[in-house]
Structure 1
Amino acid sequence: MQQFLDSHPVSRRQRLIIFLLMMVMVFEGLDQIIAAQVFPQLIHEWGTSVSSITEIVTASSLSLAVGSVVAGPITDRFGRKPPLIVGILLFGAGTAAMGRLSQDVIVFGALRCVACIGLGITVVVTMALTADLLPTARRSQMMVLVFAGVTLGSLFGSLLAAVAIEPLGWRAVLGISGLLPLLLIRPITRLVPESPTILVARGRTDAVRSALQTLLPGSDASSVDLSLSESEEHLVRPTAILGRMYIARTLLIWLLFLAAYSVLTVLLQYTPMLLQAPVPGFTTAQSGLTMTVFSIGGLVGGLSVSFVLKRVSRFATLSTVLVLAAAVLFAIALVPTGFVTLMVGFLFLGLTFSSATSSLATVGGLAYPTALRGTGLGAANTAGRVGTLVGGLAGGTLITSGLNVSEISAILSAPVLASALCIVALRALT
């Protein structure tokens, strides 16, 4: 069956499906940025304390982890499409309800947790479905391209917040960002088929041939061999990722996601604070421009990596990019912290490290057979959310210790280099 997909070029229908899945990730990135931009409004309008905002952020991270870990086994057992639709409904309706129903910070926080459970489900299912519906040679490229939608959504979210929160109010902006993803439900329901491998495992032979015809219109799927490979003869239990066959790669993937996301959290959450410290003493506009350059670098780098992966091994590509990212961080530590030099440094940091983190699903999901792909991605994303919490705590500790941006950059180069080593070890295992 996979040989049938591999024997055909990517069709127009597959490209349309990739576009729809990328739009799901665009709205995921937009949602997370808009929520963060609303927090200052809650402090101003409701007098919400910073500690309450921190509690919401922590609960949101845990909710994302719950969504990720629950989605994996469910999507491997019952299929990809139903959880995807449920995830979109939860994060879209939950975000819209935050603007419509929130009268205090408790209700706001509860609805944010509902939305984040949906976000955690959506990212796992979207990446698993992307891998399932494409020929093997194009999986890595398209998975990176789809995940680049998160960075694109972050840029759109920043622009929307900048132009709309003041004239329309934060409630209206939350309503807009919540309703937009709901518009994707109908086209996804009509145009995106279920994973053929999952359908075979469930004994739905006719539906498998229909799915293949949907993916490759005009092809003849009547004679396709619908037997599964030995690794996919049945839907294995979720705990198989911790069995003897997969335990080593699973632990390496968890360490990779934890290290990468902890560094990303420090960069995203604490860089503005570091840049506006007495040294180097940047203005709010300068620190904002520096982070914008970082995001643009991440988007350009992610798209570039997606095309490199069409011809080069994902292991070689990502390990090289991460080594370059570690070198950039060390260079930032050595060069005087002027505005221009940091702008250039963060541009290259976006091109390398940010693009690498958007590509982690290619090693987190493709390390497992299809029957375990959702479970593996869900567990990896959960490890990433743990990394978010670790990064949040570590970043605060580093700043309160009096370290500056140069010293923290030097420290961060170590876990980035460790991430590269994890990918090298994964190459040997897979």
Structure 2
Amino acid sequence: MAGRRHLRGAGLPLSRRELVTRFDSREWSVLLPLCLVGFFTNYDTGLLALASPVIADGLGVSVATFGIGVAIIRLGALGGVVTLRLADRWGRRPMLLISVLAFTVLTGATALAAGLVVFVVLQVLARVFLSTEETLAGVVLTEELRPEHRGAGIGMLGIISTAGFGLVALLLLAVDSTPLGWRLFYVVALVPLAVVIYLRRNLAETRAYAVAAAADRVRQPWWPSLPPASAAHLRRLLLVLAAVGMLATTSFFFAAELAQDDYGWKGLFTVIVFAAAPTTLLGYVVGGRLSDRFGRKPILTVSVLGFSAGALLVFSGEPLLYVPGFFFLAAADASVQAVRSAFAGELFPTEVRGTLGAVSGAVIVVAGSVGLLLTGLLAPVLDPAVTVLGLALLAATSVLALRTLPETAGADVLSAPVRLEVP
């Protein structure tokens, strides 16, 4: 059928050799610096998720109050829609350089915050550029890697980036013994300034964007219009991502509080975070390499259902189920991130890829903030665990919307856009 994409060899056994993706030197030159950028975006995200009790205490506010601040900070990702629209009009390279520089400076300046209000303002601004560089990294890999390696490259980005959470967990053990206290977290975040120098010298514009620009496809109205079929695809994808965003942010935030405050596992929680690393890496393999092999839709479906299962275990009220549940959450979160970036990048053409990637990311962030606010507001009358379980059920139900989306694995992103049909 014309324009239809299908997955070559789907359903065949996957050999050990096929699990190893062999990037060429050009692909590695793009992938490695973006992985370092991703490391510090995950590090900054991990601070608000894993170190919230420490930062809240340092700022002299309760975890619940700090949670409202986190919800506001996450809304800064909405600004990424504007900056990524500029990336669709001006190019990937200039906006990536600007976003990495601005994010690093603003994050470092957060160490000087005297109170919660200043902290939130600086982090809102930093989050604009964090969301920009995070989405642009996926866009650049989608446009620069070979189609059969696209998911694997995005998965590799996630694998290396996830070490940022490990650095947060490591610093949690040392932060109380330093005179800087919680501010140490944000001083460390100044390291990516060195990456800006490298990217400025070595990062070229992507081939897909160059092709689109040469064909005069990037000169569109400020807010591009989509054909009805593409608009319907976007709505269905955003519905699933919104449900996942509400569950992900809320479950990780309150899982940290549950372990450290309710169970008294302050030191043990750090061990759990480190122990979850292999399952996180597995999640990126599933969402990346295996979605290249078996398709974006089935892998995203399995990942969302795994997320819901993890939340059920963590918030079951049984401490023995907390650790396996947390492992499920870590693996599912990684898988969703990898497959979402590839899916959204392949589903839409170059001239709107950055914009709609930003929209999908913004929906996840806004939904996460809504989940935090809802759980916090209901806390006086409803245990947060009950609210999270309700969000888990909502996320599991949302996968039904994926049935009417086309498969995109292996789609050609260099040539003019073609219609993707539902199998």
TM-score range, shorter chain: 0.7 to 0.9
Unaligned ranges ≥5, structure 1 = 1-8, 204-227
| Displacement after TM superposition at 1:378 (Å) | 0.8
Q: Deviations for 1:323-362, whole angstroms, at most 9, x for unmatched residues? A: 34445555667xx754333322322333235422443112
Indicate the residue corresponding to 1:305 in structure 2: 287
Could you say if the C-alpha distance between residues 50 and 410 of structure 1 is closer, same or farther in structure 2, counting changes exceeding 3 Å?
closer
1:343 is paired with a residue whose SS is: helix
Indicate the residue corresponding to 1:64 in structure 2: 77
Indicate the residue corresponding to 2:396 in structure 1: 417
| Displacement after TM superposition at 1:131 (Å) | 0.8
Indicate the residue corresponding to 1:244 in structure 2: 228
Indicate if the aligned counterparts of 2:68 and 2:373 stay in contact, CA closer than 8 A: no
| Displacement after TM superposition at 1:181 (Å) | 1.1
Alignment map for 1:239-388 (pairs within 5 Å): 239-240=223-224, 242-275=226-259, 281=263, 283-286=265-268, 289-290=271-272, 292-294=274-276, 296-329=278-311, 337-388=317-368
Bigger RCO of structures 1 and 2 (CA < 8 A, at least 6 apart) = 2
TM-score, normalised by the number of residues in structure 1: 0.79
The CA RMSD over aligned residues, in Å, is 3.1
Q: Which moved more, 1:69-78 or 1:194-203?
A: 194-203
Unaligned ranges ≥5, structure 2 = 1-21, 408-420
Indicate the residue corresponding to 1:88 in structure 2: 100
What amino acid sits opposite 1:61 in the alignment?
Answer: R
What amino acid sits opposite 1:310 in the alignment?
Answer: D
Q: Identical aligned pairs, as a percentage?
A: 20
| Displacement after TM superposition at 1:368 (Å) | 0.3
Indicate the residue corresponding to 2:190 in structure 1: 179
2:288 is paired with a residue whose SS is: helix
Indicate if the aligned counterparts of 1:238 and 1:375 stay in contact, CA closer than 8 A: no
Indicate the residue corresponding to 1:222 in structure 2: none
Q: Deviations for 1:99-140, whole angstroms, at most 9, x for unmatched residues? A: 2x4344443332222211211211121111111111222212
What amino acid sits opposite 1:79 in the alignment?
Answer: G
Residue 41 of structure 2, aligned match among 18, 23, 28: 28
Could you say if the C-alpha distance between residues 78 and 234 of structure 1 is closer, same or farther in structure 2, counting changes exceeding 3 Å?
closer
What amino acid sits opposite 1:77 in the alignment?
Answer: R
Residue 191 of structure 1, aligned match among 191, 202, 216: 202
Q: Which moved more, 1:380-389 or 1:232-241?
A: 232-241
Q: Distance in 1 between matches of 2:45 and 2:59?
A: 21
1:240 is paired with a residue whose SS is: coil
Q: Deviations for 1:199-235, whole angstroms, at most 9, x for unmatched residues? A: 23444xxxxxxxxxxxxxxxxxxxxxxxx5xxx8454
Indicate if the aligned counterparts of 1:323 and 1:417 stay in contact, CA closer than 8 A: yes
Q: Distance in 1 between matches of 2:152 and 2:292?
A: 5
Residue 391 of structure 1, aligned match among 347, 358, 371: 371
TM-score, normalised by the number of residues in structure 2: 0.80
- How many aligned residue pairs are there? 388
Indicate if the aligned counterparts of 1:332 and 1:409 stay in contact, CA closer than 8 A: no
Indicate the residue corresponding to 1:97 in structure 2: 109
Q: Distance in 1 between matches of 2:91 and 2:51?
A: 35
Could you say if the C-alpha distance between residues 44 and 394 of structure 1 is closer, same or farther in structure 2, counting changes exceeding 3 Å?
closer
1:366 is paired with a residue whose SS is: helix
